[in-house]
């Protein structure tokens, strides 16, 4: 297939987003097209995708307009009403396992696509993103093969008896909208259970990371997923493909991971049709370090939860509360960890930290770094743009940063930065630590570090979040509920929780 290789001329951009993203005509650039009804599809225009490592051109992405979105939704509806919708659970599970097998065979290609789009280290793309993509399909196949629903033998006072049992039915056509930070992982996290439940989907990946979604469409077709079951449309959000998709009358549900403000906009778009939504949104996640913690383990864990993927993970820690008696020790250890991180090209095995996704996002993070200093922060590590030489000067680089001296009243402690930054804040009592951690409009994840497991259980359960870790971070069982509260989202994903969203239960009552 030719989705990522065929040269094509580029129409002049018309939308403000495309005009901003397309700097010139790139007639020989790699073309990243949509995938609709089993075939690749040109868009209404194309825009440049830039490599965040060095600013070079990755390719041109075809933006879907109203006609292309209509075609995608129609193809998905035809597929949902056709053979895919009539397949047995076992048949769909077998196809999902074949998808995982093809991902394994094309593992290196997917790693290259993820690295090309995000700039993250190859080691991270291999160990996390692509490995989890295959695991997500296998987990969804296992879940749908074993999940059941309630059944009741009913006996009424008048002597009548009945069997009540529930069956799952797919929702129909689901819009799947995923962000740029973990593009393949989060796409497959949503796509696999949606397909397992018998839905068809229209996927809109981020305009920043289109490559792996397009490649996955090829993989699904190779594994035997019928035409039209999975469709991919590229473009932007408001005023572009995303808005067209979420407001489309043919969409039966929307699942979205991304910014809280975008989630609110999608809720408004689907409200007139009362469509179900599942949102995993932003976070301003807290970690609490008690004096009785294994400090070496805590410092290593904090370095990972703060700086993994350049801090561009919804679960990353941006607020670190440390018991006062060990505050200086933790500050010194974490500062050393931040300074040890190695920024560089993704193919270099020594690289630990890649760039931010774009210059635009770097400017947002830089503004928060400047604001923190203006608010009175003491910078312990980082705080600026690194000098990595001329060959990387065009990239979107930022230094891993750590600061002290701020409290709950400061914007940089309250607002999500989504970069490699964290604030260290002391506390004196357990009650104070819990209150500080919960003093946020978000509620996605939290971490508690302590050797006292009774305290660990107690504090973890008091955190107002969807996911609460003790003495670890990002350790996941794919069957467990995943999601947040407050501005961090609505609904849960994972195992049977995903099936609960992607299906509609129907009760059947048979009088005996």
- pLDDT mean over 116-126: 97
Is 263 within a domain?
A: yes
Indicate the range of 10-14, 78-82, 287-291, 368-372 predicted with least confidence: 10-14
C-alpha 460/C-alpha 135 separation (Å) is: 27
The proportion of the chain whose per-residue pLDDT surpasses 90, expressed as a percent, equals 93
Q: What is the CATH number of the domain that holds 135?
A: 3.40.605.10
Q: Does residue 274 sit in the same domain as residue 301? A: no
Residues 144 and 179 grouped into a single domain? yes
Please check the confidence at residue 3 and state whether its pLDDT lies above 90: no
pLDDT of 78 reads: 97
Above 80 in pLDDT, residue 263? Answer: yes
Q: Are residues 277 and 294 in the same domain?
A: no
pLDDT at 491 over 90: yes
Do 502 and 429 lie in one domain? The reply is no
267/300 same-domain check: no
Q: Are residues 307 and 448 in the same domain?
A: yes
Residue 406: closest CA among 300, 277, 495, 319: 319
For residue 28, the model assigns a pLDDT of: 62
Asked, for residue 483, whether it belongs to a domain, the answer is: no
Above 90 in pLDDT, residue 13? no
Whether residue 255 is predicted with pLDDT greater than 90 in this model: the reply is: yes
218 against 19, higher pLDDT: 218
Domain that holds residue 462: 285-477
Read off the pLDDT of each residue in 372-400 and give the average, rounded to a whole number.
97
Is the same domain home to 324 and 399? Answer: yes
- The CATH number that applies at residue 369 is 3.40.309.10
pLDDT for 193-241, tens place per residue? Answer: 999 999 999 999 999 999 999 999 999 999 999 999 999 999 999 999 9
- For the whole model, what pTM was predicted? 0.92
**Residue length of the chain:** 512
User: Are 303 and 277 within one domain?
Assistant: no
455 located within any domain: yes
The single residue of 68, 114, 314, 416 carrying the catalytic annotation is: 314
326-381 pLDDT, tens digit per residue, is 999 999 999 999 999 999 999 999 999 999 999 999 999 999 999 999 999 999 99
Mean per-residue pLDDT of the chain: 93
Does residue 467 share a domain with residue 341? yes
pLDDT at 109 over 50: yes
Residue 40 has φ and ψ, to the nearest 5°, of -80, 145
276 and 360 part of one domain = no
- pLDDT band of residue 29 (cuts 50, 70, 90) is confident
Q: Check: CB of residue 132 under 8 Å from CB of residue 103.
A: no
The whole-angstrom distance between residue 325's C-alpha and the CA centroid of its chain comes to: 37
Residues 460 and 374 in one domain: yes
Q: What is the pLDDT of residue 426?
A: 98
> Does residue 2 surpass a pLDDT of 80?
no
Note whether residue 325 is domain-resident: yes
CA dihedral (256, 257, 262, 263) in degrees, to 10, reads 60
What is the full DSSP assignment across 282-306? ---EEEEE-TTS-HHHHHHHHHHHH
The sign of the torsion formed by the CA atoms of 142, 222, 119, 193 equals: negative
- Return d(Cα 167, Cα 51) in angstroms, integer: 47
Domain count for the chain, please give it.
2
- Looking at residue 22, what is its pLDDT? 33
> Known catalytic residue: 314?
yes
Is residue 67 assigned to a domain? no
224 and 136 share a domain?
A: yes
Please indicate whether residue 10 or residue 170 has the higher confidence score (pLDDT).
Answer: 170
Which residue out of 122, 280, 318, 399 is catalytically annotated?
A: 280
Query: Does pLDDT of 19 surpass 80?
Result: no
In a domain, 45, yes or no: no
Residue 192 lies in a domain: yes
> Please, which residues bridge with residue 489 across strands?
280
At residue 39 the predicted structure's pLDDT band, cuts being 50, 70 and 90, is: very high
pLDDT at 10: 32
C-alpha Rg value of the chain to the nearest Å: 24
Residue 65, domain member (yes or no): no
């Amino acid at each position: 297939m030719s989705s990522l290789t065929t040269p094509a001329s580029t129409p002049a951009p018309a939308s403000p987003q495309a005009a901003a993203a397309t700097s010139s005509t790139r007639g020989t650039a790699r073309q990243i097209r949509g995938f609709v009804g089993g075939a690749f599809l040109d868009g209404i225009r194309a825009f440049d995708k830039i490599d965040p490592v060095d600013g070079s051109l990755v390719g041109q992405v075809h933006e879907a307009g109203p006609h292309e979105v209509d075609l995608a939704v129609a193809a998905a509806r035809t597929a949902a009403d056709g053979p895919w919708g009539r397949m047995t659970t076992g048949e769909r599970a077998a196809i999902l396992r074949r998808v995982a097998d093809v991902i394994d065979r094309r593992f290196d290609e997917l790693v290259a696509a993820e690295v090309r789009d995000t700039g993250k280290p190859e080691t991270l793309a291999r160990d996390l993103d692509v490995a989890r993509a295959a695991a997500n399909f296998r987990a969804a196949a296992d879940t749908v093969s074993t999940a059941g629903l309630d059944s009741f033998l009913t006996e009424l006072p008048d002597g009548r008896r009945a069997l009540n049992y529930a069956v799952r039915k797919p929702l129909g056509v689901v819009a799947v909208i995923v962000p740029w930070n973990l593009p393949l992982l989060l796409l497959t996290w949503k796509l696999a259970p949606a397909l397992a439940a018998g839905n068809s989907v229209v996927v809109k990946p981020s305009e920043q990371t289109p490559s792996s979604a397009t490649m996955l469409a090829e993989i699904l077709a190779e594994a035997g997923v019928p035409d039209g079951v999975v469709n991919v449309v590229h473009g932007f959000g408001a005023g572009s493909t995303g808005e067209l998709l979420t407001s489309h009358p043919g969409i039966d549900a929307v699942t979205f991971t991304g910014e809280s403000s975008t989630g609110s906009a999608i809720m408004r778009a689907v409200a007139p049709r009362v469509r179900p939504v599942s949102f995993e949104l932003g976070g301003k996640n807290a970690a609490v370090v008690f004096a009785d913690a294994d400090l070496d383990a805590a410092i290593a864990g904090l370095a990972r939860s703060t700086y993994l993927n350049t801090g561009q993970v919804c679960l990353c820690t941006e607020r670190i509360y440390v018991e006062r008696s060990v505050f200086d020790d933790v500050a010194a250890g974490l500062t050393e960890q931040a300074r040890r991180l190695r920024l560089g090209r993704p193919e270099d095995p020594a690289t630990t930290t890649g760039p931010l996704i774009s210059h635009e996002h770097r400017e947002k993070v830089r503004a928060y770094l400047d604001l923190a200093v203006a608010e009175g922060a003491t910078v312990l590590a980082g705080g600026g743009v690194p000098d990595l030489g001329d060959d990387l000067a065009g990239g979107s680089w930022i230094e891993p940063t750590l600061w002290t001296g701020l409290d709950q009243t400061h914007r940089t402690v309250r607002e999500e930065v989504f970069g490699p930054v964290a604030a260290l804040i002391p506390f004196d009592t357990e009650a104070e630590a819990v209150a500080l951690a919960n003093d946020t409009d978000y509620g996605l994840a939290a971490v508690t570090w302590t050797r006292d497991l009774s305290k660990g259980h107690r504090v973890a359960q008091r955190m107002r979040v969807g996911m609460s870790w003790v003495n670890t971070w990002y350790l996941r069982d794919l069957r467990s509920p995943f999601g947040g509260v407050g501005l961090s989202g609505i609904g849960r994903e994972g195992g049977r929780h995903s099936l609960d969203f992607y299906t509609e239960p129907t009760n059947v009552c048979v009088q005996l």
